Amino acid sequence: MQGAKKNAVRRPPSAPRWLALRLPVLLAALLLLACCDNTAFDPFQESDLHFSISGYLDGGVDTQYVRVTPVRDSIALGPGPIDAAVTLEHLATGTTTVLKDSLFLFRTLQPLTERYGHNFWSTEPLEPLATYRLRVTRSDGATSAATVTLPDTFPDPFIIGTTVKIRGIERLAEVLVVYLVRDLILRQTVTHTVSYLNKVFLFEGELQVVVDRTRDEQNIVISLGGTLIQILNIKVIVAAAGPDWPDLTEVDDETLALPTVISNVEGGVGFLGGIISKTIPWPGFEE
């Protein structure tokens, strides 16, 4: 992404960009908060809500992506630029990085349906345990901001048989198994991601999770309409959560939909988390 150009239309990043257990409800809540109906009752009228900020800062990858959307009166967002300058400040050193804007194109299952999103990005390295402040500023000075603290780093997870073993993490954000699959009938390559966060257990002082590849591959076949598949690659992504990462396991869907439950954005809506992730290949699929 080093050579990305502002407002060049791109596909969304292939790596999973959301690592919460109750993600579908969380995303729905953020989407609803980012827009409002054009009726007499306008919850954002004359308010201090300027931008929706969503995503996370990951100290384990070389490129950061943060979705920024103006609070507006419709869901649709066109391909043009938005009035937003995005910076990331390391609060201990004062070092400030300007994030660049990339326009991403999202296609839905409905024919001819397209949506655009602005993912601001940076290749500035992030430090474990450091606290960062992301600011989004409009040309008139209106600002939305979020403060995020990253967790500490941890030893590389390892796989024995079908068990993933994890050490050195105080708070776990996610465990993902990512399958790169070839549809042998349609001759298409797709990515299928399975969350194992709710299957993690503690055994002899370490976190473990047993991956059921047979079940996962059966579900992939079902999701693709019963086609024949070939597994091209498998990798496991383990993410540690920072101290501000929300614990959503005990929150019901109705409560989660409330704006004050998960939002940490000042002068706006949404959630920006802090993680450190590590990716390991499944045995036999090393690149």
Q: Is residue 132 packed enough to be buried (19+ CB in 10 Å), middle (13-18) or exposed (0-12)?
A: buried
- Rounded mean pLDDT of the chain? 80
- Report whether pLDDT(71) > 60: yes
User: What residue has token string 């409330």?
Assistant: 258
Residue 198 and residue 209: Cα distance in Å, rounded? Answer: 9
* Residues linked to residue 241 through DSSP beta bridges, in sequence order: 275
pTM: 0.76
Give the per-residue pLDDT at 189: 93
User: Per the structure block, which two tokens stand in for 270?
Assistant: 């949404």
Residue ranges per structural domain of the chain: 9-151+242-277, 158-240
Radius of gyration of the chain (CA): 20
Q: What angle do CA 28, 34, 36 make, to 5 degrees?
A: 100
What mean pLDDT is predicted for residues 46-75? 83
Kindly report which listed range (2-6, 213-217, 244-248) carries the lowest average pLDDT score.
2-6
When pLDDT is cut at 50, 70 and 90, the band that residue 263 belongs to is confident
Q: What angle do CA 189, 192, 194 make, to 5 degrees?
A: 165
What are 134-191's pLDDT values in tens digits? 999 999 999 999 999 999 999 999 999 999 999 999 899 999 999 999 999 999 999 9
Give the per-residue pLDDT at 1: 41
Give the per-residue pLDDT at 128: 97
Report the amino acid identity of residue 215.
R
| H or E stretch covering 107 | strand 100-107
Give the per-residue pLDDT at 164: 98
Nearest in space to 175 (alpha carbons), one of 195, 155, 157: 195
User: Per the structure block, which two tokens stand in for 69?
Assistant: 């959307």
